[in-house]
Amino acid sequence: MIGVIGGTGLRKIDGLTIVREEIVDTPYGKPSDKIIIGKLGNHEVAFLARHGEGHTIPPHLINYRANIFSLRALGVRAILAVAAVGSILEELRPGCIVLPHQIVDYTYGREHTFFDGINNPVSHIDFTNPYSSKLRNLLCENTSLEGINFIKEGIYAAVQGPRLETAAEIDRYEKDGATIVGMTGMPETALAKELGLSYAAICPVANFAAGRGSSKDGITHEEINKKSELMALNVSEYLKVVIEAYGS
């Protein structure tokens, strides 16, 4: 079964017919919310709202281990992770969807591994290519939806939040090669890889990052929420096409 983790703006998938809801517990605690199992076209999908019901969990307090563990426990083997981002580059305008291929991780203090030497023996996964190439190919091959501008590569700067960045921090991330910035990509991506799941990210661009474009003089979280919600229909439509192509 394929899983979808919804971020800011995507509290549900439009068109998903709900079959049942699962409340799951894990050795790592509870996931962000109940997991909704539904049908999108002919395909079963498990949906989890990353920030919980009513968007109450900030990025640094999300129980990423419980989220990934519980999806796997329900039979999920591939995850499409939707995560709103800010754009670092002029050409990545709010409204487009970036399909990142790389990550630079600036987060700290998060429970970021299953292989902690307590619950599981120490192990060092390969993370050269953080996302599943098979899932990324699927995403990149299904980008002909009218009215949506897809960018098939991106370097995701994963930041701690919950505050937004300073303009100088964004300059630093750009020097490091990053093209988009968000708060939830890590450790989620690495945890999925530790459990052997295929995982790829869909990043709707909600705003220009701090100090860039229309965010030159500042930026509000309300603007980010509003744009993310406006993009939810496009994202749902895209998920439908991709999941149809993925099969079961």
* Rounded CA separation 172/144 (Å): 34
Q: 228 is written with which tokens?
A: 């993310």
Work out the widest C-alpha separation in the chain, in whole angstroms. 49
Q: Residue 140 and residue 99: Cα distance in Å, rounded? A: 8
Considering the complex, what minimum distance in angstroms separates the CB of residue 116 from ligand HPA?
A: 27
Instruction: Compose the 98-117 pattern: x for residues touching ligand HPA by CB under 6 A, - for all others.
Output: --------------------
Which residue of 71, 79, 178, 206 would you call a contact of ligand HPA, by CB under 6 A? 206
Structure tokens at 105: 């991780």
Cis peptide before 58 (omega within 30 of 0): no
81 binds ligand HPA (CB under 6 A): no
Q: Can you tell me whether residue 194 is helix, strand or coil?
A: helix
Asked whether position 209 contacts ligand HPA by CB under 6 A, the answer is yes
For ligand HPA, the closer of residues 90 and 126 by Cβ is 90
Pick the closest to residue 41 from 248, 223, 179, 198 (CA basis).
248
Q: Which is nearer to ligand HPA, 85 or 190 (CB)?
A: 85
139: contact with ligand HPA by CB under 6 A? no
Structural element, H or E, at residue 9: none
Residue 66's SS3 state is helix
Residue nearest to ligand HPA as judged by C-beta position:
86
**Window contacting ligand HPA (CB under 6 A); options: 20-28, 158-166, 185-193, 236-244:** 158-166
Shortest reach from residue 190's CB to ligand HPA, in Å: 18
Q: Residue 82, interface with ligand HPA (CB under 6 A)?
A: no
Q: Is 84 in the site for ligand HPA (CB under 6 A)?
A: yes
Instruction: By CB under 6 A, tell whether 92 contacts ligand HPA.
Output: no
Interface with ligand HPA (CB under 6 A), residue from 105, 165, 188, 194: 165
Phi then psi for residue 138, to 5 deg, are -60, -45
Residues binding ligand HPA: number (CB under 6 A):
13
Between strands 85-87 and 180-182, the pairing is antiparallel
Q: Work out which of 99, 103, 159, 186 binds ligand HPA, going by CB under 6 A.
A: 159
Q: Is 201 in the site for ligand HPA (CB under 6 A)?
A: no
CB 140 within 8 A of CB 80: no
Q: How far apart are CA 17 and CA 44, in angstroms?
A: 9
Contact between 97 and ligand HPA per CB under 6 A: no
Which residue lies nearer to ligand HPA by CB, 37 or 231? 231
Torsion of CA 74, 78, 83, 89, to 10 degrees: 170
Among positions 4, 37, 49, 85, the unique one binding ligand HPA when judged by CB under 6 A: 85
Binding site for ligand HPA (CB under 6 A): 84-86, 159, 164-165, 181-183, 206-207, 209, 224
